[in-house]
């Protein structure tokens, strides 16, 4: 049976998806202290879970989902901080490519998996991007959908100097967060297609703490709404 795995870091990012699942279809499993919700969402068989914050948690629970549920595709949804002036609060970024900002290039390119970055699956990414564009248009709030590079690292970026340094080292990057590349990395070594969508909660600058508090729920909900739209377009 074709099944889609959906992962978020935090429950605030997954809650609306769980609420939208057909309740009579949901079976709850618990492995290594995390719950996995196996059921039907927008007509699609899915397994929904959270992985916790950070690269290690992301890799552990992605692999656990793949091993236990044998999903055919992965969708990762959540919030992020902007690293580009064109990407503003509640804008959306569909990942085309992902890399780490806190791992030496040689660790990735000279040893397995012999690559500096990880790509998302083009068709799934286009479905997420189109769904994001539709959502932005429906909101009529001036927000936009983008596609490009996302950075991952074990740091909540709140320092303007750190933000500038990351942008200088990765000029094409659109946003930064703490899980997506680890999830894409795990999907890559397991040969599982992945799509990733992130909604902007803050600008990764001196006001990031205040912005995060104000926009966390709005950004998480918007990203979840985009996933719901995308699931209706995916052929199972």
Which sequence positions are flagged as catalytic?
13, 202
* Contacts of 166 by beta carbon, 8 Å cutoff, 6+ apart: 83, 101, 151, 157, 173, 176
Q: Exposed, middle or buried: residue 61 (CB in 10 Å: 0-12, 13-18, 19+)?
A: buried
Alpha-carbon gap, residue 58 to 40, rounded angstroms: 23
Measured distance CA(28)–CA(19) in Å, rounded:
13
Is the preceding peptide bond at 113 cis, omega within 30 degrees of 0? yes
Q: Are 75 and 128 in contact (CB under 8 A)?
A: yes
Tokens of 15: 């809650």
């Amino acid at each position: 049976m074709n099944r889609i795995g959906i992962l978020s870091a935090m429950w605030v990012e997954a809650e609306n998806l769980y609420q939208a699942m057909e309740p009579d279809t949901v079976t709850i499993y618990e492995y290594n202290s995390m719950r996995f919700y196996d059921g039907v969402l927008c007509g699609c068989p899915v397994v929904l879970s959270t992985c916790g914050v950070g690269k290690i948690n992301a890799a552990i629970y992605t692999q656990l989902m793949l091993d236990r549920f044998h999903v055919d595709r992965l969708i990762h949804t959540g919030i992020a901080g902007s690293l580009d002036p064109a990407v503003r609060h509640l804008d959306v970024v569909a990942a085309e490519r992902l890399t780490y900002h806190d791992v030496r290039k040689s660790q990735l390119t000279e040893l397995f998996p012999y690559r500096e970055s990880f790509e998302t699956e083009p068709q799934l990414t286009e479905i997420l991007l189109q769904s994001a564009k539709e959502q932005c248009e429906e909101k009529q709030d001036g927000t936009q959908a983008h596609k490009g590079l996302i950075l991952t690292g074990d740091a909540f970026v709140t320092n303007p100097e750190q933000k500038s340094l990351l942008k200088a080292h990765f000029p094409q990057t659109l946003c930064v967060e703490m899980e997506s590349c680890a999830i894409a990395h795990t999907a890559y070594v397991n040969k599982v297609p992945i799509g990733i969508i992130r909604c902007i909660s803050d600008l990764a600058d001196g006001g990031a703490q205040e912005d995060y508090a104000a926009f966390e729920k709005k950004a998480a909900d918007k990203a979840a709404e985009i996933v719901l739209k995308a699931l209706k377009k995916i052929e199972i």
